[in-house]
Chains A and B, each alone.
Chain A
């Protein structure tokens, strides 16, 4: 699991908020222009810091949703009603505001520089955000690596990244996208429903004998269940990478 050394100083910068859009009823897309951006790798994140008038600060991590090929950077933040930072980012922030951040951070949970097999992405909820950057990069770099995304969302309205993913079921994207809905599907839904389990993994992801590189991202319990399911199916643990968005307060 050795990595490339990325050892430069990370300093805070104030990025202008260019645009804010509702991505879903619960998630917003923030388009930012950091003054000093050296580029990023798909899958990296930034740390965002908020400062109150009395000096109190709160800091959280957010994945970059935009591919490295784009100049402005996007974050997609899901609002947790009882959260501290995400309600501010999704409801209080306005275009023209400055947002303190530093990054890009992380060199592990990233699109593989030289994939030596197909790439399987598996997301739960806002865990799809780093994969939007990866799929965008895959497209922009005309990569021919076979890619699949298995994405668990609550309802159709909760699907983050519909623009990038194409309407579920369509072939608007060059990756094979499967969305499973855990809280009910509308009439005419042709995709699967219910949580990601071993049957769905077996059916909709690259089989272990194709030696895919697998990236799993989402809430802790989702990641734990999926990673375990993959190992049980016979995937090499050394080829499964995980990123847990672990609600900071949850177990």
Chain B
């Protein structure tokens, strides 16, 4: 890179991060866990909460909170990367693999649009939420997921920027055509791979 900011040396917080685990342009936030969202935190009572699969499926599915909690669960320990440039290592979650939710679903869809309380949406290729790459989690660090962080349940897709891990998720719409979600409509990258620094459209 030819450009240099005169007089800038930087903090080199990068060196504190485990080798090879910090995508370009990110820094290790350590014990912090910043909160970012586009609106107020929704509070949906658990007896009114459900999770549904709809759209391009032979038969829609719906789980109440009780039914969701009874599904096979997995612990997940992963690094997460926010587009606002913080990363957090070894975050510990527990929840239901999206593979489990998609078991026995017949679909021609190649994409999903995650939808949430509060109206938030985000789009992902179906291939990126299957094969053990995505979960609907309701537990963080052994505790029920805090509403600020998306509780009662959020999507977790750690290999993409964290805006893809929709908070307050209520379900997935399966689609044959790719449909940009909330931030994707506002100029953020359609896919969001942190290792390729896909922050904004065209990156």
Which residues of A approach B to under 8 Å, CB–CB? 1-10, 14, 50-53, 55-61, 84, 88, 92-94, 97-100, 105-109, 220, 224, 227-228, 230-231, 237-238, 240-242, 244, 246-251
Given contacts A50-B5, A50-B8, contact A59 B85 (CB under 8 A): yes
Q: Is the CB of B11 within 8 A of A84?
A: yes
Given contacts A9-B202, A241-B39, contact A84 B182 (CB under 8 A): no
Our pick among A55, A61, A94, A250 for the contact of B32 (Cβ within 8 Å) is A250
Complex CA–CA separation, A96 to B105 (angstroms): 61
Q: How far is the CB of B201 from chain A (nearest CB, A)?
A: 4
We find that the number of chain B residues with CB closer than 8 angstroms to chain A is 46
Instruction: Say which one of B22-30, B64-72, B124-132 lies at the interface with A.
Output: B22-30
Give the residue name and chain of the B residue nearest to A96 (CB). Answer: B6
B54 at the interface (CB under 8 A from A): no
Q: How many A-B residue pairs have CB under 8 A?
A: 145
Q: Is the CB of A220 within 8 A of B187?
A: no
Q: Is the CB of B38 within 8 A of A1?
A: yes
Complex interface bits, B7-35 against A, C-beta within 8 A gives 1, otherwise 0: 11111111000000000010101101111
Specify which chain B residues have a CB less than 8 angstroms from the CB of A59 in the assembled complex: 25, 85
- 26 example contacts (A-B, Cβ-Cβ < 8 A) are as follows A1-B118, A1-B121, A5-B185, A6-B187, A9-B202, A56-B12, A57-B1, A58-B10, A92-B6, A99-B5, A105-B200, A106-B186, A106-B187, A109-B38, A220-B36, A228-B41, A230-B40, A237-B118, A244-B34, A244-B37, A248-B27, A249-B30, A249-B34, A250-B34, A251-B33, A251-B35
B176 at the interface (CB under 8 A from A): no
Specify which chain A residues have a CB less than 8 angstroms from the CB of B85 in the assembled complex: 59-60, 248
Complex CA–CA separation, A250 to B12 (angstroms): 18
